[in-house]
Amino acid sequence: MLTQIIITSMAAVFSLPQLPYESNALEPVISKETIDYHYGKHLQAYVNTLNTLVKGTEYEKKNLEEIVRHAPAGPLFNNAGQVLNHTLYFEQFRPVGAEGPAVPEGKLDKAIRTAFGSFDEFKEKMAAASTGLFGSGWAWLAQNEKGELVIVQCPNGGNPVTMGYVPLLGFDVWEHAYYVDYRNRRADHIAALWQIIDWKVVENRMK
């Protein structure tokens, strides 16, 4: 259960999650302009639409994970998935130059080495999943029901929770996530993201 980050709703009111950094803190990896549009406009639109869609339905008092797990394909699933995805996404970053480990440590490091052989091999596979996903969607590092780490490609607003997995690290490959800063150079955007991952946040999401 992603209790540390999931927005819960008691009366069909979801809200924009608060950024744990200033909107310019991820520059030059992610510009303030991109944050203003991606977080301030795209995510806000998903939140607003989700609130409208759940009102008066069986999902009205469920949290995001429950909605994404159980909603049928369509607008409700898409918007709930994108609110969940983007909450995880924006909370996994730390400001450029901030203190903290530059690579995974502890149980996350051990799990990555077990699953992929090395951190560098994991980065290569995660980059391949991100650049190789056709169209819009997400590449996720996730933990399966056995506690093993896997990389999952999810088109559109998909999330590993639909498979019973725990999402740990997500790379957004919708063009609005990177087009202002990188134009169509998705691979360059993915390569730059490693500079701003907060590995403690990622580790804390593990079961």
**Binding site per annotation, positions for Mn(2+):** 38, 86, 172, 176
- DSSP character string of 15-75: -PPPPSS-TTTTTTTS-HHHHHHIIIIIIHHHHHHHHHHHTTSTTTT--HHHHHHHSPTTH
Burial class (CB in 10 A: 0-12, 13-18, 19+), 184: exposed
Residues 6+ away with beta carbon under 8 Å from 174: 136, 137
Query: Helix, strand, or coil here: 3?
Result: coil
- Write out the binding residues: 38, 86, 172, 176
Amino acid (1-letter code) at residue 97 = G
Contact indicator for 115, 149 with CB cutoff of 8 Å: yes
